[in-house]
Amino acid sequence: MEKILFIILSIFVLFAGYSQTEITGQVLDDKSKKLSGATVMISKDSVSSILAYGISDADGKFKVTVKSESESLFLKVSYIGFATFEKTILNKAQQLVVELSPSSEALKEVIVKSEILQQRGDTLSFSVAAFKGKNDRVIADVLKKIPGIEIRPNGGIYYKDEPIQKYYIEGLDMLEGRYNLANNNLSADAVSKIEILENHQPVKVLDSLEFSERASINIKLKKDITFSGTATAGIGAAPLLWQARVTPMVFTKKRQAIVTYQSNNTGVDASGEVLNFSQNFYGNNFDIDKENWVSIQNVSLPPFSSERWLDNNVHLLSGNILQRIKKDLDLKLNISYLNDYQQQDGSTQTRYFTPTDTIDVIENTNNDIFISKLEGELTLENNADKNYFKDQLAFNGSWNAKRGLIDRPDTRIMQQMGNPFFGIKNDLGLLRTVGKQLITFTSNTGFAENNQDLLVKPGQFEAIFNDGEPYEQLQQLVSTRKIYTDNSAGFTKALGKFTIAPKFGFSIQNQQLDTDIFLEDGEEVLDADFKNRTEFVESSVYFKNSFRFKSKDETWNLSLSTPLEFKSFRLDDDNFEETRELDRLIFEPYFSMNKKLSAYWDANASAALRYDFGELQQLYYGFLLNGYRNLNRYNAPISEETRQIYNAGLGYRNPLKQLFLSASYSYNYSENNLLYSSNIGENGTTILEAVALDNNSDNHSFRAGGSKYFRKMKTTLKLNTSYNLSKRQQLLNNTLAEVNTRSLNFRGSLDAEISSWLIANYSGNYTTYTSGFEDGDFQTIETHQHTLDLYFYPKDNQYLSAGGEYYGNSLSENGTNYFVNLGYQFTFEKPKMDLNISWRNILNTDTFINAYNNEYYYVQSSYRLRPSQVLATLKFTL
Which residues inside 500-559 make contact with other proteins, applying CB under 8 A? 549, 551, 553-556, 558
Binding to other proteins by residue 353, rule CB under 8 A?
A: no
Q: Which is nearer to other proteins, 247 or 743 (CB)?
A: 247
**Cβ-based nearer residue to other proteins, 607 or 725:** 607
Q: Which is nearer to other proteins, 135 or 479 (CB)?
A: 135
Question: If binding is defined by CB under 8 A, does position 51 make contact with other proteins?
Answer: yes
The reply to whether 73 sits near other proteins by the rule CB under 8 A is no
Q: Rounded to the nearest whole angstrom, what is the least distance from the CB of residue 79 to other proteins in the complex? A: 6
DSSP notation for 571-620: EEETTEEEEEEEEEEEE--EEEEEEE-SSSEEEEEEEEEEEEE--GGG--
What is the spatial distance between Cα 156 and Cα 162, in angstroms, rounded to a whole number?
Answer: 10
Distance CA 242, CA 447 (A): 39
From candidates 8, 9, 14, 80, binder to other proteins by CB under 8 A: 80
Q: Which is nearer to other proteins, 158 or 491 (CB)?
A: 158
* Contacts with other proteins, 765-804, as mask; x by CB under 8 A: ------------------------x-x-x-----x-x---
Closest separation between CB of residue 825 and other proteins, Å? 8
Q: Report the residue number, 481 or 718, with the smaller CB distance to other proteins.
A: 718
Q: Can residue 655 be called a binding residue for other proteins (CB under 8 A)?
A: yes
Largest CA distance in the chain: 134
The reply to whether 81 sits near other proteins by the rule CB under 8 A is yes
> What Cα–Cα distance (Å) separates residue 839 from each residue in 39, 123, 849, 871?
75, 44, 21, 7
Site for other proteins in 819-858 (CB under 8 A): 823, 825
Q: Who's near 106: CB < 8 A, 6+ residues apart? A: none
650 near other proteins, judged by CB under 8 A = no
Q: Does 642 bind other proteins (CB under 8 A)?
A: no
Distance in angstroms (rounded) separating the CA atoms of residues 582 and 569: 5
Nearer to other proteins, 408 or 657 (CB): 657
Output 13 or 585, the one with its CB closest to other proteins. 585
Q: Which range touches other proteins (CB under 8 A), out of 223-231, 535-543, 594-602, 671-679?
A: 594-602
Phi-psi region of 810 (alpha: psi -120 to 50; beta: other; left: phi over 0): alpha
For other proteins, the binding residues in 184-203 under the rule CB under 8 A are 196, 198
Interactions with other proteins, residue window 804-823 (CB under 8 A): 823
CA distance 667 to 29: 68
> In 3D, which of 221, 228, 204 has the Cα closest to residue 169?
221
Does residue number 670 form part of the binding site for other proteins (CB under 8 A)?
no
Applying CB under 8 A, among 24, 292, 644, 716 the residue interacting with other proteins is 716
Residue 20 interacts with other proteins (CB under 8 A): yes or no: no
> Is 344 within 8 Å of 363 (Cβ atoms)?
no
Confirm or reject binding of residue 148 to other proteins (CB under 8 A): yes
Least CB distance from residue 145 to other proteins, whole Å? 6
The least CB distance from residue 140 to other proteins, in Å, is 8
Q: CA 325, CA 306: separation in Å to the nearest integer?
A: 42
Q: Does 78 bind other proteins (CB under 8 A)?
A: yes
Report how far residue 657's alpha carbon sits from residue 600's, in angstroms, rounded to the nearest whole number. 11
- Rounded to 5 degrees, what are φ and ψ at 809? -145, 160
Site for other proteins in 104-133 (CB under 8 A): 106-113, 115, 117, 120-122, 124, 126, 130, 133
Applying CB under 8 A, the span of 5-13, 72-80, 664-672, 840-848 interacting with other proteins comes to 72-80
Burial (CB count <10 Å: 0-12, 13-18, 19+), residue 457: middle
Nearest CA-CA partner of 123 in 201, 195, 46, 187 = 195
The residue (of 458 and 563) whose beta carbon lies closer to other proteins is: 563
Peptide bond into 794 cis (omega under 30): no
Work out the number of other CB atoms within 10 angstroms of the CB of residue 571: 24
Q: Residues in contact with other proteins, total (CB under 8 A)?
A: 92
End-to-end CA distance of the chain: 73
Indicate which single residue of 5, 8, 11, 55 sits in contact with other proteins (rule: CB under 8 A): 55
| CB atoms inside a 10 Å sphere around CB 453 | 18
Between 112 and 495, name the residue whose CB sits nearer to other proteins: 112
Question: Is the Cβ of residue 41 or residue 174 nearer to other proteins in the bound state?
Answer: 41
Beta-bridge mates of residue 722: 703, 745
- In whole angstroms, the minimum distance from the beta carbon of 149 to other proteins comes to 9
Query: Interface with other proteins includes 135 (CB under 8 A)?
Result: yes
Determine phi and psi for 114, rounding to 5 degrees.
-75, 125
Q: How far apart are CA 312 and CA 866, in angstroms?
A: 10
Report if residue 411 touches other proteins, rule: CB under 8 A: no
Q: Which of 67, 160, 253, 254 binds other proteins (CB under 8 A)?
A: 160
Neighbours of 334 (CB within 10 A): 24
Binding of residue 153 to other proteins (CB under 8 A): yes
Min dist. Cβ of residue 761 to other proteins (A): 8
Strands annotated E in 615-685: 624-627, 630-633, 640-654, 659-680
Give the pairing of strands 167-169 and 241-251: unpaired
Comparing CA positions, the residue from 357, 351, 462 lying closest to residue 735 is 357
435 binds other proteins (CB under 8 A): no
* CB 745 to other proteins: min, Å: 19
> What is the rounded distance in angstroms from the CA atom of residue 276 to the CA atom of residue 334?
11
150 binds other proteins (CB under 8 A): yes
User: Is the Cβ of residue 326 or residue 711 nearer to other proteins in the bound state?
Assistant: 711
Instruction: Report the residue from 102, 147, 283, 867 that binds other proteins according to the rule CB under 8 A.
Output: 147
Asked if 483 touches other proteins (CB under 8 A), the answer is no
Interacting residues with other proteins between 752 and 771 (CB under 8 A): 753, 756, 759, 761
